[in-house]
Structures are given as structure tokens and as C-alpha cells.
Structure 1
Amino acid sequence: MKNIPFYLIFVLMSSFVFAQGSSNGNKWMRNPDNGDGTYTNPIINSDYSDPDAIRVGNKFYMTASSFNCIPGLPILESDDLVNWKLIGYALNKQKPEATYDLAQHGNGVWAPCIRFHKNEFYIYFPDPDFGIYMTKAQKPEGPWSEPIMVKSGKGLIDPTPLWDDDGKVYLVYAFAGSRAGIKSILTICTMNEDGTSANNDDVLLIDGHEEEPTIEGPKIYKRNGFYYIFAPAGGVATGWQTVMRSKNIYGPYEKKKALDQGKTSINGPHQGAWVQTQNGEDWFIHFQDKGIFGRVVHLQPMKWENDWPFMGKDTNGDGIGEPVIKFKKPNVGKSFPMVSPPDSDEFNEPKLGLQWQWHANPKVNWGFPSTLGFYTLNCIPKPKEAVNLFDVPNLLLQKFPDDNFTATTKFQFNSYSDGDEAGFVIMGLDYNYLKLKKTNGKVFLSQMICKNANKKELEKEMERVELKANVIFIQVKVTENGNCTFAFSEDGKIFKYIGIPFTAKEGKWIGAKLGFVALREGFINDAGNLKIDWIRFNKIQ
């Protein structure tokens, strides 16, 4: 059989038994907490891009980019900087609604900044097509205020505020070349006392073209009379962390490279946050771009030397820190339970789990949670402009939760007329769609693969089987190279392979995602639905 292509061997395999998965939520995952006083990076092995974090009292809070996915601006909470749980979102709908009612891949919420000022939580976030917004809340879990435009302008990104000791308020930000026509520079302007409106008194802080190409993502802090700007440069997957300092907020600034990949496997360690524990320890949170799996979150030890921050470990003696893989946990006074963002869902609650996001502002008729033991996803008419799933807004998806896992789901497809379709999706610039569709009164399961979905390519059917009933179990196995293999069962015990292996691909500025969709051709007054019973994840041993 050595001369037979792998995909044919895969297809020819008749059947096998798959584990149904655990209903214990995120307990199956690799946890960064080693349980012995150390941790292993990444601290969140999932797509929380451009993380920013703060400490308030004894709690740490993090937010991240969400782009076109809604709800947006995730809020995570931690007791020890290692174990993080998702507690809510700051953005329930994106404005302007006429734009974000449609799928807008790669647009929307770029790198945000979270701060705590006068007993209120603030998040400043950019939309590169419109400007810089601000939302605030009394509690991190919300409710968060309606976002207000602080500074309008195309291409303004990566805002960070500073309330100075003398009462003055500043905003530092960068530019997206794709919108503004300029990039690799950082600028600063003043704001009003409330931080709700920026002034047009912008000053250039650095032009990075010669030594700091693509400098962006600034975070401004003040310490020991110095103003510090932490800013990544060199590109997302290949760059480093630069730190600038000056006694004058307008500069001129000295600069130093504080963290780079060195000889480690952690590419592009930058774009993040300086956080200090209640016991005075300093730490730096940043992301690593892992392509298919998105931008995952790392934690680096940090210390101050001659009023310069040093991050990670200097293993090659060049004076620049390199990322650590394993390290002693932050000292926060005591140990806390291991937690991580959610993944598995039994769909028993009268609200959608926090792991789920839509690809656009949701509409009331897309789906309903219930206490009946399932989530109902309705077959909504396909948008006229959608030649494939890339432009479909009602995709109910969650992030890949790890590098190696299986996800098993059980659902019931209720079709009241021909034209309804629904199923399970691995979504990205390429996607795999295990589609159930009713045709001439019969229900069929098909593997549909779409390459270059963002370029309007069409789906191709790889295999189709007729089902005896409308209740089905589907499982995907995902490995660290993004390779996905699929199986189905009609009894939940014996699974059969379907289709061919599929290599997942990242989306536009986000990692690959998985979840569900329900559609139909044209409008009808009684569309079908997909009743999702559960989805359960297991770690591949």
C-alpha cells in the first residue's frame, strides 16, 4: 500500500470508534500552570491577538483584538497572570451598523488598550476605517458604555492613553499604511480631561523607517520621572519589542531593543503589556503569531536595570532578552485554581456561551439559546453577494482552543422543505464545511472544501452520503500542523471517515475557527433549523 496516496488510504478505511469527548469544559486542555510553582508558555494557547492587560487590586484583566467578530473586545480575568478565564465582552455590536451587519473580515476592532482611571475601566480601541473609540465600565464584566469616537480618521490604530500627574491627558497612536498611506511612525496628541475627545495638536514621536520598520502598537507608561513607550517593530511574525524613554513626553526619546526571538522558537515576541503584581514583580505579556492557530499569549519575567526594562532571559549575551518557555510563576501570595477560556458547550443555558462569536452584528432571528438542552440555529437566506461561506454573517464560531484536539458534536437537522442546509465548519481563508442538505425529501451529508474563499472561489464537493435519520454526530481531529480529519456517526458509537484530510488556514488577521452555520436558498415563511445538542473537546494524547 506504500504507493497508494494517503488520502485514498484515508477514504478507504471503513470505520472506527471515536471518543465522544468530555463534557467538562476546558479541563481537558493543556494548562500553562504546571502545578509545581512554574508555568509553561504560552499562557493562553489560543487566538487572543494584541493583548493588553492591567492590575486592579488583586485581579488582572486583559483584552484583545476581535476584528469583525461579535461580541467583541473580550475581557479576561486572572488571579496570577497564568490562569485566565473569559468573563465577558465590552462590545455587543459594532458601529456603524450598516457596515458591520455584513461580514467584514480583517476590519473592525484592532489592537485595544485597557486602563483603570478614577474607579472606572476604560478601553480605547481603533477601527482603522473610521477612527479611535472609547468605552468604559464600572465593572470589568460590564455593562460597558456605548462607544464614543475620540479621534476620527482613516488609518489611526493602536491607541494608548496616559493621565499624567499634572492633570494633562495624552493619546499615543500609530498608523495603518493600508488606510492612512503612511506607517512606521508614532504620534501623540492631548485629550480633554475626561479622555473622551482628542485634540488636533499631534506631534511626531518617532519615525521608525531606518531602524524600527513597522513600529506600531505603542503602550505609554510613566515611572521614576521617565515616560516610557513600549512598541513592537519589525513586523508581526518577525519583529521585536522596542522600548523608548524620555523625561519629556514629547521627546526626544532614547530607545532600546528589550526582547527578540534570538535563538528561541518564539517568533515575533512583541505587542503587549507591562504589568506589575501587588508584590512589586514586573511582567510582560505579549503574543506570538502561530498562523493557523492565531496569535497566542505569552508571559515574560521583567526587571528594571538603570531605568530600562529587561524582559525574558539573555541567553546569548547580546544584552537583549529572549522569550522563556518555562519559568517560576508570579508571586501573588498564594495559589489559585487552574482555569482557561471555555470551549466545550452543552447548550443547556438560556444564553450563548462566551466562547461563541458571530462574523457580523447578530440579528434576532439567527438563533436562540434555551433551557431545553439545545441551541437552535435557524436556516437564514444566503446573502445575494455570498458565493461561498466567506461572506456569510451568521457563522457561529469559536477559536481553536489548542494545537492538538478533537471536537465532537451532536445535532439534529430539521428541514421542512428542500433548500435548507446546515452543518459544521472549519473556517478560514480556506474552509471545510460538513453540510447537511435536504434534496427531494432526502437528507445528505457532504464534505465541501473551498480554497481561497476570500477570492470568491467556489466550494467543491469531495464526498456525499445519504443519511437514514436527521440526528448526526460529527467529529474533527486537529493536529499541530492544522491537519483536520473528519468522521460521522448516526448512533454515536461507530464513526466513519468522510471526505479527505483538510489543512486548516487562518482567516484575515485571525486564526482558524470552528463552529456551525445554517442557511437556505431564498426566503420562506417557515425555514428549517439546526438544533445543536452539544460540542465536546478532548486533547489528543
Structure 2
Amino acid sequence: MLIDQERSTVPLDPADTYRNPVLNADWSDPDVIRVGDDFYLTASTFTKVPGLPILHSRDLVNWKIIGHAVTAGHDEVRPGCGVWAPSLRHHDGRFWIFYGDPDVGIHQVNAEDPRGPWSEPHLVKPGLGLIDPCPLWDEDGQAYLVHAWAKSRAGISNRLTLHRMAPDASRVLDEGTIVIDADLLPGYRTLEGPKLYRHDGHYWIFAPAGGVATGWQSVFRSRSIFGPYEDRIVLEQGGTDVNGPHQGGWVDTPSGEHWFMHFQDRGPYGRVVHLQPMEWRGGWPVMGADGVPVPGGPVPVPGGEPAAPATSDDFAGPGLGPQWSWQANPDPSWWELRDGTLRLTCVPGPADLWERPAVLTQRLPGEPCTVVTQVTLHGEGRAGLAVVGRTSAYVAVESTQDGPAVVCAGSAPVPVPEGAAVTLGARVGQGAVVTFLADTGDGLREIGEPFHATQGRWVGAVLGLFAASHGDAPAGHAAFDAFTVDLER
């Protein structure tokens, strides 16, 4: 069994070890596969645009964003809706992602190259409350699709339904069979997030239960894909600080070792991703250290180059960095990259930034950091740096009757010269406590009141850039220079 470095008697080079979480930000509901020597991961994005990020790694620890599989969503902000819990597979020379939209049904997108282009979303099964789908193409050419249920839409949950599916993934071929009814399993609640596999003569469904912040990871096995299935809990919190631990994906390495990636709900930081060693004992998988999460250990494939999903952006183009997303479908008039700056038009919209489509966002890092940008306001409006969740706060430059000023809750407006480039920032400390910063002529200093970042609906808080008009029509714009995120490691 691959074990944690702290439990090992064999000295390890620090460069060949890892610490959990390996993705310390909101990469909700991850699924992971290997194709040759390459690993790929995707995650839920709800109503973010673009959605379904594609991450690449050579060692399961160091990851980079290489694209997105969905480029459009809703025109309005719909917190908690949209793209839920995807599954990622490689079949017949193509990459496939299945995801559920609880208000529409189960969709799939596919591509020959994971960097794209990806097909337009195709509706495989319409219906309310259909979530967390996962396909399996069997050795005999038959195809299947398993999914869970969202009680908020369907009126039922805690059960998994299996369909025969057309091999081209165009549609399901039957009404579906409930293969696991967890209401019949003692102690089970909210069984969801199934991942379907075939291994060692059994069909396997890996699925979490018990709730995102308080549950565990189970596996189910059967000689027949339609059951009956027997179950076993294979990963739970135990005496660790890893609450949940919740859904994810099983993957092997080129050398034949087995790993499991799953998320942990960290409130305002979102659902961060952990990596667990996994082995097979007595015909069942054993995850972590005998069923409890490990804090780290040997890198699955040593010798890789350090990497992490992008955060900082110099806005040099030709496009926005892959870390950015809008809160709904963006209008092209909202933004432009020009001369090494990001220009945001001051557009009308809801005062509550959580409800505002025209906010450019990225994930809040799961460790202390300092974020800095520079903004120049031209004309009327307000533009700045925000932290957005169910509650939001910001520091911004705003046009007032007395001229431009830096504004932040808990502070009186501080005048700045007309047309001046003003440095704004935020220090995010332990517990996601945010202290805003501004340089109003005497260096970068704290401004306003501390703000406790809050999670959104199924997501963590985000860092955001915005430009808002005072009235019902655009009346100005803002130019943002380089956006920098420095982690305090």
C-alpha cells in the first residue's frame, strides 16, 4: 500500500512528496481519468461561464487548466443551478463529459482533443432532478448510464438509477432501473455522485452518502450491472480534520498503482481536492490509511514539474486567462483586452454582486494570500476588486460629486486624483477573513472593515473584478492593470 510519508520509515525527497489538498480551491465534484501518461480532471461549475474546466497533470499532484468544455450558460445569474457533478471518460478515441442540469436533464459533450473544440451540449435524458450522471461502455459493446436524484426538483433522493444507453451516447434506451435504494440501507442518507466502473469481474459504483460536510465514501459491487449490489464504506473522516470526505474518481497510474481523488467542503473556500492512495484487499478497495484520509505522501508519478492552476494575469492577451469566468453569459461589450490592460465597461445591473452577471471571477485560494490590482476609472461609475459569496464586499474607485474616490464599507470615501491609476488589494487571512487595501497616496494600506467571506450556493467565495454604472446605461469604463495573487506559504 502507498502510505503517508509520516508513517513511512523510508526517507523521501521532499520534491517527491505531496500534501493534501492537492487542489486547494473550489474544484467541486472532481472526476479524473488517465489516458496514456496523462491525467485529466474536470469539476462542477454551476452557472459559471465558461464551464467544465479541463485540468491536466502528469503526476496527479501538479495541475494546469488547459481549457473548458462548455462555453455558454444562462443569461442571468442562477446560483446553484446549471452544470452539476460531471463525469469524465475516454472512449473510442474521444473524451466524454456527462453532467446533470437539475432543471433540464442529463447532457454530454465530447471532443477528440481535451483542449477542444468540444461539441455543443447534447441532451441525453430530459427531466427534473436528474444529477450526477456517469456512463460505462462495457466490453460487449453495450452502454449504460447511472445517475442520482435531486430531491429539490424530483421529490426523491438517496437512490441510484441505471439506464441502458445508446452506444453513441445520444439517448437512454429504457425508463431506468433503481439499482441501489439507500433508504433500505441502515444509516444511509443522500446517496449521490455515482461513478461506474468494471473491475475484476465485478461492476462497481463508487458513491458518497451522508451529506457533503458530514458524510463518507461508499462503494458497491455486483456481478451483474443491474445488481443486486453489496456495499462497504471505504473512506470516512475518522480522527482527521478532513470532513466529508466526499465524491470523486478512481484512477490508476501507468505503473499500476491506484488512487482516489475526492473533495472536502471548506465553506467559503469551497470544495478542495484531496488525493488518497488506494489498494485492493480481499476484493474491495481500501482508501487512504485503512479507510481514513492521509495528509500526504509520495507523489504517484515522481519527477514531474511543479505546476498549479493559473491565478495571476497580466492581461497581455490574446484572451483572458483560463482561471477567469463570468457569473452568467457575458456580453462582448462588457470587456476588452487592450494594450496590456483589461477594460471593463461600467454597465448597469443589480447592486448585490452575487446577483450581477457582469462580474469577472476566479476561485478564492484555500490558503492565506494577498491580491493586488490597479484600476483607472474613466467617466462615471464604480470599479474595483470584490470578494463575492452569499454576502459580498469590495474596494473600488467611484465617481462622486466631489470627484473620484476610493470607497470601501466601514470607511469614508478617500479622494484620489482624476484619471489616476489606483492600486487596490485584499489580504485574505485564516478563516477567510478579508482585509481590503488601497493606495490613496501614501502606500498600500488597510481600508474599511474586515469582511468574513461566505460561500455561495454549492460553491466557495470568489475573487471578482467589476465595473458598474450609476444609472441604467453605460457611462464610463475602467482599465485594470495586472492582477496578482501571492500565496503566503
**For this structure pair, what is the TM-score category when the shorter chain's length is used for normalisation?**
over 0.9
Within a 5 Å distance, the mapping from 1:144-293 to structure 2 comes to 144-209=118-183, 210-293=186-269
Of 447, 471, 475, the match for 1:527:
475
Pairing 1:537–2:460 present: no
Pairing 1:484–2:434 present: yes
Within a 5 Å distance, the mapping from 1:25-424 to structure 2 comes to 35-94=14-73, 100-209=74-183, 210-314=186-290, 321-330=291-300, 332=301, 334-370=302-338, 372-382=339-349, 386-415=350-379, 417=380, 420-424=381-385
Identity %: 44
Aligned residue number for residue 511 of structure 1:
460
Q: Distance in 2 between matches of 1:67 and 1:247?
A: 35
Aligned residue number for residue 395 of structure 2:
434
Aligned residue for 2:481, secondary structure, equals strand
Deviation at 1:208, TM superposition (A): 1.1
Aligned residue for 2:268, secondary structure, equals helix
Q: Distance in 2 between matches of 1:141 and 1:275?
A: 20
Deviations 1:472-516 (A, max 9, x none): 00121111211111221145x712321111111111111111121
Deviations 1:393-422 (A, max 9, x none): 01001101231011111121111x4xx221
Q: Distance in 2 between matches of 1:306 and 1:329?
A: 25
Aligned residue for 1:179, secondary structure, equals helix
Contact 2:395 2:437 in 1 (8 A): no
**Structure 2: runs of 5+ lacking an equivalent:** 1-11
Of 462, 474, 484, the match for 2:424:
474
**Structure 1: runs of 5+ lacking an equivalent:** 1-32, 95-99, 315-320, 449-460
Q: Distance in 2 between matches of 1:124 and 1:285?
A: 18
Contact 2:46 2:80 in 1 (8 A): yes
Q: Distance in 2 between matches of 1:423 and 1:387?
A: 14
RMSD: 1.5
Aligned length: 475
Aligned residue for 2:247, secondary structure, equals strand
Q: Distance in 2 between matches of 1:443 and 1:426?
A: 22
Aligned residue for 2:466, secondary structure, equals strand
Deviation at 1:435, TM superposition (A): 2.8
Letter in structure 1 aligned against 2:82: G
Aligned residue number for residue 8 of structure 1:
none
Structure 1, 167-176 or 193-202: larger mean CA deviation:
193-202
Q: Distance in 2 between matches of 1:108 and 1:325?
A: 33
Letter in structure 1 aligned against 2:478: L
Deviations 1:416-463 (A, max 9, x none): x4xx22111110111112132212361122114xxxxxxxxxxxx643
Q: Distance in 1 between matches of 2:188 and 2:401?
A: 62
Contact 1:471 1:490 in 2 (8 A): no
TM-score of the pair, normalised by structure 1: 0.86
Deviation at 1:255, TM superposition (A): 0.5
Aligned residue for 2:354, secondary structure, equals helix
Contact 1:287 1:296 in 2 (8 A): yes
Contact 1:48 1:296 in 2 (8 A): yes
